[in-house]
Structure 1
Amino acid sequence: MRYEDKVLLITRPRRFGKSLTMSMIKNFFEINYANPEDKSKPIELFKNLEISKNKDFCKKYLGEYPVISVSLRGINGTSFASAIGSFLFEIGRVYNQYSFILDRDELTEKEKADFNYLVEISNQSNFDEWYETHKIDSVLKLKNCLFNLTYLLNKIYKKKCIVIVDEYDVPLQKATVENYYKEMLDVVRGMFEKVFKTNDYLEKGLVTGCLRISHESIFTGINNFSIYTVNDEGYNRFIGFTHDEVVELLKKQKLSSKEKNVMKWYNGYNFSGAKMLCPWSVLNYCESAGKSENLNKHHPGNYWINSSGNDIIDICLQHPDAQDSMRLQNLLDGNSEIIESSDFSSYPQITTGTDFETMMNIMLHTGYLTVVKTHSDRRLEVKIPNQEVLESFRERTKIVFSKKNSPWYEKVKAPKNSFI
């Protein structure tokens, strides 16, 4: 980990172990709130692991900081109001984890009351009814919630905080589908500005997601902000399984005889030179194979396709014209395509008139494609990484290319008829 990064965003495809990695970071850095001098828990967790060999790093950072970790994966709603309610409930759950600070003399009665307001949210037996009478200041409280928690923890422990926000782009994706993107963007951007911009109580900020939304759109004004995508060398082996790790795992699980098949189905991701595999798929395969009564007849399964929502992918696949359909078919045939590398200024950009280049970049960042070669002019040669994703890709395109979808069928049929 490059500790000099003040705030960093790491993007990886879904189910690549982002949340598990963030949990590992939390457990490594987090202080023992009851007894800050006692580091026995993280020492026990990380002993015999590679990081434990770096004695100086562990001495300086292990169990040294208050850590605030929040996942935005479950933030959704069919309206902005219901999404804000979902957001508040998650923040209330996070605050509840620190409810022990209400007993500390360092806090004023006003600070305790403000803190307890958010704690009580997660304890409501009828949250919807409660929310109806507390809507007015909900957005403001969300924007300030993480900053306020860093302030309170710093006041008590005299240490700056590490703040982790996992799956930051999920609420924005859901908001796009339900047409309240601008309102949700304002909330997330406001929260990030408060906690990550000129926050004297912040030690480090770590944000994860699938897509990189442009710095100007959501990370405005945040200093020392670094971004690491699947196309960047930094942290390219940090999230996910390397080839060697999977070989070792298969060996421990007595599945070495299946290595060739496992690599065919789950290998193939290229993160700026690092050959990576999806942990979700590999671990599910190992579990399934371990339960098999006849390993010789056991075949790899597709564990990836139904592991998360496909809203954005489905929207993207509605836009290409007949020429784009042929390029998609070329990918499905196992070949590669050359695309222009691009970032995304906002999710609405993805939903209105999405061109092939933008669509392929979305596919790249969400795990449907991987980079074969990077050209000097930023163009990328991409292809479908492995058998599992190929099966997933085909499932997602079945509806688009079926006769039941008449606009698509007519477009695809047109070039064929020209040769008759």
Structure 2
Amino acid sequence: MKELPIGISTFPEIIQKGYLYVDKTAIIYSIVSRKKYYFLNRPRRFGKSLLVSTIEAIFTANRELFAGLAIDSLPYDWQKHPVISISFSGIPYTTPELLEDGIKRYLKDIAAEHQIVLQKGTAGEMLKELVKTLAISTTVVLLVDEYDYPILQHIHDKETAKAIRGILKSFYGFIKDLDKYLRFVFFTGVSKFSNTSLFSGLNNLEDIGLDIESNTLLGYTSAEVAHYFHEHVVHMAHKIGCSKERLLEDIKTWYDGYQFALERHATKVYNPFSVMLCLTKGRFSNYWFQTGTPSFLMTLLEEKSYPIEEFEHMEVTENNLGAFDIDAIPLGVVLFQAGYLTIQGYNQETGNYVLTYPNKETIDSLIENVFASMTSKPEAYLNSIVSALRRAFKECDFKQIQTILTQLYAHVPYTIHIGEEKYYQTIFYLAFKLTGAVIAVEQPTHDGRIDVVLETLGAYFIIEMKINAPAIKALEQIKYKKYYQPYESKGKKIILVGIAFDTTRKNISELEYEELPMQKK
């Protein structure tokens, strides 16, 4: 059983040391054989750096590393080219000046490997000199990994981010005049900033991030998980005492579901980092999320009043999916490009693409993170609240439900800037989403909107919230407007719940409920 290359993003090391490699070289071959300038964005920990390393190995003609892989049997010429490979995650970025100096040192190190001494100048001028010098005998390959990393580290500070962008724009601007010296140019990153703001002049840079051909280039398909990881799946299934088929279904639930292409029936892919860690450790967890949530994302969520309940069905345009800029950061697009939301479908009526959570890991992790951001309470507290709520609803113990919710609201500071009703509704949604219940807010009916519909294995809870009004008024509204009617034929108990909030106490003041008689079939 081959060891899994967790944290290893160097293709030669993976092959030479016998790690498991999921063969993506047929897709890579089609990319390097067709055009010259490419851009690909994918979430962090999705294998972008390994892809860049693999492309470098192809262009340095290390064919022996590809023995038995798809590209080895394809008509590739294996001509050797000098490669300039730049990873911006390894360059200092705390100030624009440090970034400029860091790029210069990086280029000098590459030049030294080729016995070249670069003259003084800007980073862009040094890149130009390096490319021209290396291209004396043959054309050069330029690979730029994490091109946006310095910007994203300052995205919360627009002025610094713009200054960083200026450095990078100037640096990338030199590439357009080097066309005749270049064989292939490939950029990777997490986000796609608009061409006018960063890639001015590189009009021929092809963005393949949303193309069907590159949809499965990074991440694993179900077929790849079943084939390449067969021994690991069998081993883990035996370890935890379940069937291989059941384990594959659980892995799918936790880590599958990413779609990057715009085509409606594109193949979904798994998060590669989480799959490998799950199979290595023999247990499920939110591995990808644990490696770090961008602080700017939490800041952005707070600025947007934590619209967490919208993430299950968020519509965006195709143009929005393609790019954004520092001055205008659409929340849905950031969540999509960062990997917290994925393409679910297409709304023919509006012409928009529908985004949703890809899998259990992202649902649980994002909600837990938002909840922690709002309450400043440790994860253990959240787990105990969720467990108690799940048990209370299963037993329909409404006295206990009110007690738990009262404790919960007492720990959420009211200083967060959310409208009163939205404040109570958002916290309610977060808590119950984590219980595993199916929850929907602001559900439209023929006569208004239901505040919350909560579905458990045995019941529907139709919930109406009232601010500074008796809970009985909430129950009366549910019955008067017959909010329960769409659920009467579904064969489950229907329980009407009215919750009253007191804005003086910033908490629940009353809870009333009533179970409707089951309809006879």
- TM-score normalised over the length of structure 2: 0.61
2:127 is the alignment partner of 1:149: no
SS at match of 1:385: coil
Is 1:278 aligned with 2:271?
yes
1:50 to 70, 78, 90: 70
Separation in 2, partners of 1:89, 1:311: 29
Q: Which segment drifts farther, 244-253 or 175-184?
A: 175-184
Residue 399 of structure 1 and its aligned partner are, at CA, apart by 4.0
Number of paired residues?
Answer: 345
Q: Encode CA deviations 1:246-274: one digit per residue, 9 max, x unaligned.
A: 11133132346221211111111122212
Tell me which of 6, 10, 13 is aligned to 2:43.
Answer: 13
Code of the aligned partner of 1:312: F
Shift of 1:365: 0.9
> How far does residue 389 in structure 1 lie from its aligned partner after superposition?
1.1
Measure the CA separation in 2 of the matches of 1:90 and 1:349: 31
Aligned to 2:280: 287
The structure-2 alpha-carbon separation of the partners of 1:363 and 1:52, relative to structure 1 and needing over 3 Å to count, comes to same
Q: Could you tell me which residue of structure 1 aligns to residue 162 of structure 2?
A: 182
Please give the secondary structure, in 1, of the residue aligned with 2:100: helix
Change in CA separation of 1:198 and 1:81 when aligned onto 2, cut-off 3 Å: closer
**Equivalent of 2:250 in 261, 285, 291:** 261
CA contact (8 A) 1:72 1:170 kept: yes
Provide closer, same or farther for how the CA distance between residues 232 and 21 of structure 1 changes in structure 2, counting only shifts above 3 A: same
Change (3 A) 1:198 1:90: closer
Query: For the Cα contact (< 8 Å) 1:71–1:165, is it kept in 2?
Result: yes
Aligned pair in 2 of structure 1 residues 281, 68: CA closer, same or farther (>3 Å)? same
Q: Which residue matches 2:98?
A: 82
Would you say the 8 A contact 2:96–2:167 is kept in 1?
A: no
Offset of residue 208 of structure 1? 0.5
Partners in 2 of 1:386 and 1:79 — Cα distance?
Answer: 37
* CA-to-aligned-CA distance 1:121-158 (integer Å, 9 cap, x gap): xxxxxxxxxxxxxxxx5xx2x12233222111112xx1
Distance 1:398 1:85 in 2: 40
Provide the residue aligned with 1:387 in structure 2.
360
Q: 1:226 to 1:405 in 2, by over 3 A?
A: farther
CA distance in 1: counterparts of 2:181 and 2:165, whole angstroms: 24
Q: Is 1:76–1:174's contact at 8 Å kept on the other side of the alignment?
A: no
1:221 maps to 201
Task: Find the counterpart in structure 2 of residue 166 from structure 1.
Answer: 145
Q: Partners of 2:151 and 2:373 in 1: how far apart?
A: 24
TM-score (structure 1 length as normaliser): 0.75
Question: Structure 1 pair 378/204, CA: closer, same or farther in 2 (3 Å)?
Answer: farther
SS for the counterpart of 2:358 is coil
**What's 1:130 paired with?**
none
Gaps of 5+ in 1: 32-41, 103-111, 118-136, 290-298, 351-357
For residues 363 and 337 of structure 1, the distance between their equivalents in structure 2, rounded to whole angstroms, comes to: 10
Alpha carbons 1:147, 1:199 under 8 Å: kept: no
Residue 101 of structure 1: SS of its match in structure 2? coil
Indicate if the aligned counterparts of 1:400 and 1:408 stay in contact, CA closer than 8 A: no
SS at match of 1:270: coil
Amino acid at match of 1:7: Y
Q: Could you tell me how far 1:409 is from its partner in structure 2?
A: 5.5
Residue 180 of structure 1: CA displacement? 1.5
Match of 2:287?
Answer: 303
Superposed displacement of residue 400, structure 1? 4.5
As a proportion of its length, which structure holds more strand? 2
Q: Is the 8 A contact 2:256 2:270 kept in 1?
A: yes
Residues 246-255 or 161-170, more deviating: 246-255
CA distance in 1, matches of 2:65, 2:466: 64
Quote how far apart the aligned CAs of 1:398 are. 1.5
Contact 1:11/1:209 (<8 A) preserved: yes
Q: What amino acid sits opposite 2:296 in the alignment?
A: I
Contact 1:172 1:185 in 2 (8 A): yes
Note the alpha carbon deviations across 1:288-309, whole angstroms, 9 max, x for none.
12xxxxxxxxx31211113245
Aligned equivalent of 1:235, options 202, 214, 220? 214
Q: Report if the CA contact (8 A) 1:72-1:166 is conserved.
A: yes
Label 1:173 to 1:405 Cα distance change in 2 as closer, same or farther (>3 A).
Answer: farther
Deviation larger for 365-374 or 396-405: 396-405
In the alignment, residue 413 of structure 1 is paired with which amino acid? Answer: Y
In structure 1, C-alpha distance between the alignment counterparts of 2:337 and 2:171, rounded to whole Å? 24
1:86 to 1:64, Cα distance in 2 relative to 1, 3 A: closer
Deviation at 1:160, TM superposition (A): 0.5
Gaps of 5+ in 2: 1-29, 238-243, 376-411, 426-464, 468-473, 475-499, 501-521
In the aligned structure 1, how far is the partner of 2:252 from the partner of 2:141? Answer: 37
Q: State the superposition RMSD in angstroms.
A: 2.4
Q: Using the TM superposition, give the Cα deviation of residue 47 of structure 1 relative to its aligned residue in structure 2, in angstroms.
A: 0.8
Counterpart-to-counterpart distance in 2, 1:196 and 1:242: 36
CA distance in 2, matches of 1:177, 1:101: 41
Q: Name the amino acid aligned to 2:286.
A: N
**1:406 aligned counterpart, secondary structure:** coil
Q: What is the rounded CA distance, in whole Å, between the counterparts of 2:38 and 2:286 in structure 1? A: 32
How many angstroms apart in 2 are the aligned matches of 1:19 and 1:306?
19
Cα contact 2:143–2:186 (8 A) shared by 1: yes
Report the Cα offset of residue 169 of structure 1: 0.8
Query: How far is 1:172 from its partner?
Result: 1.2
SS where residue 290 of structure 2 aligns?
Answer: coil
Secondary structure in 2 aligned to 1:275? coil
TM-aligned CA deviation for residue 378 of structure 1: 4.3
Per the TM alignment, residue 192 of structure 1 is displaced from its structure 2 partner at its CA by 1.4
Paired residue for 1:337?
314
CA distance in 1, matches of 2:224, 2:34: 27
**What is the percentage of aligned positions where both structures have the same residue?**
22
- Residue type matched to 2:66 in 1? F
Could you say which structure has the greater relative contact order, defined with CA pairs below 8 angstroms and 6 or more residues apart? Answer: 1
